[in-house]
Homo-oligomer: A and B are copies of this chain.
Amino acid sequence: MIKDMKKTIYIVGIGPGGMDGMTIEAERVLAGADVIVGYETYLDLVRDKYPDAEYLSTPMRKERERCIMAFEAAGSGKSVVMICSGDAGVYGMASLMYEELGKRDCEEYELKVVAGVSAALSGAALLGAPIGHDFCVISLSDLLTPWEVIVRRLKAAAEGDFVIVLYNPSSHKRADYLKKVTDILGEYLEPDRICGIARLIGREGQDKWLCRLDELSEVGADMFSTVFIGSSTTRIIDGHMVTPRGYK
């Protein structure tokens, strides 16, 4: 009985772009929301579909305030859904919401994460099948992670011959980071290692490029891009980036 009375906040990944990449479960959960919380750009993607919901937002870097907003709305008895692009669990709001839950009465609130298609998967679909075998996902944003940790992971990923998927490969302040990455990886990988870039996946202006590792930093990946660096078995088939499932 007490369990049933918990206030549930849903944290929903809406996939790569518009409504199309969202799961049926995500759509159903959003349809039942009194309040939808999220970053403004993502709210704009769903606003037309759910015109009766109340929308709450905070700017970028105010993610913790956004979480508090969601708990407050749920506390007032409203059914609350927080949305993220891609998947809420991959560099999304799910972990931050759990951190905020940990500061509160866990008997009062519960969180439910509804998984979505993260850019590693949607970008891969666009490029062909680059993550058909073991892969790593690494964010190049050093806003919350020391650069040394990122470098350690890049080196480990190269040592392990993983396909490497880079999130947040570039921004205005980090315009040279992809060059730094290719310099580091260049010590381990051959210069003609196959790479791919997927940009604005599922949105207007969607595009993709294939290139060599030594060309990667020149292709123009930006904050809307996801970067894929192939493993030793990755190859190009009919203009697509493909990593075979096996070695035999």
Residues of A at under 8 Å CB distance from B? 13, 15-16, 19-25, 27-28, 87-92, 94-99, 101-102, 106, 110-111, 113-118, 121-122, 124-126, 128-139, 143-146, 149, 152-153, 155-157, 159-162, 237-238, 240, 242-248
Query: Given that A153-B134, A247-B149 are known contacts, is A242 also in contact with B99, CB under 8 Å in the complex?
Result: yes
User: Which of B115, B134, B137, B160 meets A122, CB within 8 Å?
Assistant: B115
A89 partner residues in chain B, CB cutoff 8 A: 121, 124-125, 129-132
User: Are the C-beta atoms of B113 and A129 separated by less than 8 Å?
Assistant: yes
> Contact at A116–B106, with CB atoms within 8 Å?
no
On chain B, the residues within 8 Å of A113 by CB distance are 124-126, 128-129
The answer to whether B102 and A132 touch across the interface, beta carbons within 8 angstroms, is no
In the bound complex, what is the Cα–Cα distance between A99 and B113 (angstroms)? 35
Residues of B within 8 A of A242 (CB): 95, 98-99
**Across the interface, do A132 and B95 meet the contact criterion of CB distance under 8 Å?**
yes
Provide the residues of chain B in CB contact with A130, threshold 8 Å.
89
User: Do A135 and B137 touch across chains, with their CB atoms under 8 A apart?
Assistant: yes
Choice from B28, B91, B238 contacting A98 with Cβ under 8 Å: B238
Point out the residues of chain B lying under 8 angstroms from A87, CB to CB.
Answer: 117, 121, 124-125
Residue in B closest to A25 when the chains form the complex, CB atoms: B20
A-B contact pairs, 11 of them (CB 8 A): A21-B25, A88-B125, A89-B129, A95-B129, A99-B244, A133-B145, A134-B153, A144-B248, A145-B247, A155-B160, A156-B156
